[in-house]
Every structure is written in C-alpha cells, then in structure tokens.
Amino acid sequence: MNSLVELQDYLKCKDNSVKFFNHSEVPIVCQSEPCMLGVDEAGRGPVLGPMVYGIAYCPINQSKVLKSLGCADSKVLTEEKRDEILVNMLTKDEAVQNIGWAAEIISPNYISNSMYRRAKHSLNEVSMNSAIDLIKKVIELGANIQEVYVDTVGPPEKYQAKLSDIFPGIKITVAKKADSIYPIVSAASIVAKVTRDHALKVWQFREGLDLDYTQFGSGYPGDPLTKKFIRDQIDPVFGYPLLVRFSWSTAELMLQEKAITCTFEEIDDPTKKSPKCKAINTFFAPKLEGVKKRKKHKFFDERYLTIGNAFE
C-alpha cells in the first residue's frame, strides 16, 4: 500500500459491520534491531463511524526518521498535513525501510453490540483489547519490539500494570498525552486518524442510502451535520444504519423519541429451573403419600432375600 487511494480501496472492500486489521510489511531492520512501538486511537468519542486503533514501530536508534516526517499529535495537525505524513510514511525510502504500522478498524456495530451484550464490554475494554491485539499481531509477524508507549485509556498505572503482565519482556510506558510526548505515539496517532477519516469518506451504506461523508459531518455529537443525520436517518422500526453507534446517549434519546417502542420476551436463563418442569429423578422416586406399604411376601423372608433398587 503506497497511496491514500489504495487505502480507500482497501477500506471500501471490507465489511464495515465488523472489525478488521490493516498493516504494513515488517521492515527487515525491525526484525533484528530492537524496536519501540507506539499506540494511539482515533474516533473514541463520535456517535458516527468506526473507532480506529493505530500502532507504529521503528528501531529505537531511528527516532530521527519520525522527526524528519514531522510526526506530532494528529489532533494539532490539519487533515492535509496528516495525509501528507502518512503518504510519506508509505512511500519515502527511509520511512518504508524503518517504520512499520498497523491499524484495527472497529465498526460502530461492533462497539455498540459489545456494550449491549449480556457480558458487557465497556469502551475502555474494547480499546484495551484492540491495543493488546495489535501489539501481539506485529510481534507474531516478526517485529522485535522491546519498548511500548501507549496513550492511556483510564488510569495509566492500572493500564501499564496490565500490559506489563501480558508482555513481561517488554518495557511498557503508559502516559496521558503520550501522543504529544513521544514521536512514535504521534506516528501511531496519524495512522489511526487518517485511517478513520478515509473510512468515513468511503463508507458504504448497506441500507441503500445515497449519501456521502459531506452529508453527515465529523460524527461528533456537537457537529450540526451529524445532529441532522441522527435526527433524519432513523427508521421507526429498524432504527439507525450501521454508521451509527446506537449505544451512544445521543442516538438512544432519539430512538426513544422517534422509534416505535419494542417489548422483547424474556430470554430463558438456562441456569434457572422452571417451576413447571420436574427433575428427571422424580419419576423414579417412590410416592409414599396415601399409599400403604406392602408387606414383603413370605417367599423372600423364608429365603432371606432383599429387593435391590437398580436406580440407587
């Protein structure tokens, strides 16, 4: 992959109702030299579109390559500058030879279903699992990761302890605002943000809506275009298209206001016994109430025989 067009083509052909990976080849130097790896996300707060976790990694002694690309926190860069940096990361010889990257695109549908299922997964859990899976994936691909830097989700101390338990041989640093402190996290931030931006630009509505990204805005609840989309694109029975995180309060409130109220039957709990259902062993137990005990026939007494119960 060496252009944004190729990135868009890749995103367009994927199923946007699930989560999926995208990653570079592991540079040869990263397979032998000790590397540092950064982790960051984009799209945690929006009510529309995927959340994307990105990682970037390079040899510890090649941090100058990151600085030469201009890696900084993606939130303080313009969209054009972010695109430019990612294209350079994909095409410049020095960058291609020293920097690897990967991203996990987590669909709105996956996020909301995780938060609503019986064994609920909070957004923090979804985020941590994604970061862990990405680190594991590049290690499995052959990258020699020795240091990991992560922009925190929740209390940094707990997150760092969890990652240290999972990756005991790797130096782990979890910090607030890591994307503005460590260039390798800034590179990961750019991978995540650009991937999310282009995932929205090529979003395919499986519901048949003829809309493009200019008609639903940034996806953040405060965006007027996003508010209009949330208000207008609601089916009274089926709710929202897959672009919407229906577990977000913005969408939930609109569903309560405009959608038809549904009552679902209570799901049977397999661990709870029904009062109408008898246990199987009751069919073999003796019924003593109102039944006279029969006297043993003398045949048995004379021969000192007893009756055995085959079910005991």
Which residue in the block uniquely carries the two structure tokens 């569903």?
A: 255
Q: What is the pLDDT of residue 293?
A: 65
Binding residues: 40-41, 151
Partners of 22 in beta bridges: 103
Going by C-alpha positions, the residue among 102, 97, 101 that lies closest to residue 32 is 97
What's residue 305's pLDDT? 67
Task: Report pTM.
Answer: 0.81
Residue 221 is predicted with a pLDDT of 87
Q: Considering only CA atoms, which of 203, 256, 254 is closest in space to residue 232?
A: 254
Nearest partner of 24 among 79, 73, 95, judged by Cα:
95
Classify residue 79 as left (phi > 0), alpha (psi -120 to 50) or beta: alpha
Q: What is the DSSP letter of 285?
A: S
In angstroms, the CA 67 to CA 123 distance is 32
Query: What pLDDT, on a 0 to 100 scale, did the predictor assign at position 1?
Result: 80
Write out the binding residues for a divalent metal cation: 40-41, 151
Q: Tens-of-pLDDT digits for all 312 residues of the chain?
A: 889 999 999 999 999 999 999 999 999 999 999 999 999 999 999 999 999 999 999 999 998 999 899 887 667 889 999 999 999 999 999 999 999 999 999 999 999 998 887 777 788 899 999 999 999 999 999 999 999 999 988 788 999 999 999 999 999 999 998 988 999 999 999 999 999 999 999 999 988 888 888 889 889 988 999 999 999 998 888 889 999 998 888 888 888 888 888 776 665 555 555 556 666 666 666 665 666 666 777 766 666 667 666 555
What are 40's strand-pairing partners? Answer: 54
Catalogue all structural domains in the chain, each as residue range(s) with its CATH number. Answer: 4-202 (3.30.420.10)
* Residue among 113, 99, 106, 115 at smallest CA distance from 53: 106
Using alpha carbons only, give the angle 204, 127, 134 rounded to the nearest 5 degrees: 85
CA distance 72 to 183: 6
Contacts 24+ apart (CB under 8 A), 309-312: 311/284
